[in-house]
Amino acid sequence: MTIDKKSIVLASFAASNGGIHTPVQIQKLLFLIDKSVSTMVQGPHFNFKPYDYGPFDQNVYTVLEGLCQEGSVEIIESGQTWKKYRLTPNGQKIGDNALNSIESKGQEFIREISKFVLSLSFPQLVSAIYKAYPEMKQNSVFKD
């Protein structure tokens, strides 16, 4: 199976088994996958640059919008200024297939990093990324 941008987004969401992702969690999850296991997932898939809250690529949202239109991802209105995202049941099936097509070490990493990203608060997650990747702090508006 070819792992493209859509597949890696679906696989990364599938690892959380129905988890709801905020924009910062999505950006950091995909950044960590690209940085840590890109060769195992035919990546890197995105071009992350230092931004207000660390690594960011606008294309992540373009892919999410496409997946929403296809019915694989749903937007959850949170009453905040940002949207939250999760897989639809069909998206979970496609994402599980994509995740299972990745070699076992890559799958394990994606599952672990998904848990890690979802377990942290916004400031904890941004701080953890800055600690591990200080170069991603250069344009930050976040003070940790």
One digit per residue, the tens of pLDDT, for the chain of length 144 reads 789 999 999 999 999 999 999 999 999 999 999 999 999 999 999 999 999 999 999 999 999 999 999 999 999 987 777 889 999 999 999 999 999 999 999 999 999 999 999 999 999 999 999 999 999 998 888 866
Q: Identify the burial level of 37 via C-beta atoms within 10 angstroms of its C-beta, where 0-12 means exposed, 13-18 middle and 19 or more buried.
A: buried
* pLDDT number for residue 48: 97
| Predicted TM-score of the model (pTM) | 0.95
Phi, then psi, of 21 in degrees rounded to 5:
-115, 135
* Cα dihedral 125, 126, 131, 132 sign: positive
Q: In 3D, which of 10, 29, 30, 46 has the Cα closest to residue 115? A: 29
Rounded distance between C-alpha atoms, residue 8 and residue 10, angstroms: 5
Residue 107, C-beta contacts closer than 8 angstroms, at least 6 positions apart: 15, 99, 100
* pLDDT number for residue 81: 75
Rounded distance between C-alpha atoms, residue 119 and residue 22, angstroms: 12
* pLDDT number for residue 144: 61
Domains along the chain? 5-135 (1.10.10)
Q: In Å, what is the CA distance from 10 to each residue of 19, 21, 40, 121, 142?
A: 12, 12, 16, 22, 28
* pLDDT number for residue 79: 75
Count of residues in the chain: 144
Neighbours of 67 (CB within 10 A): 23
* pLDDT number for residue 2: 87
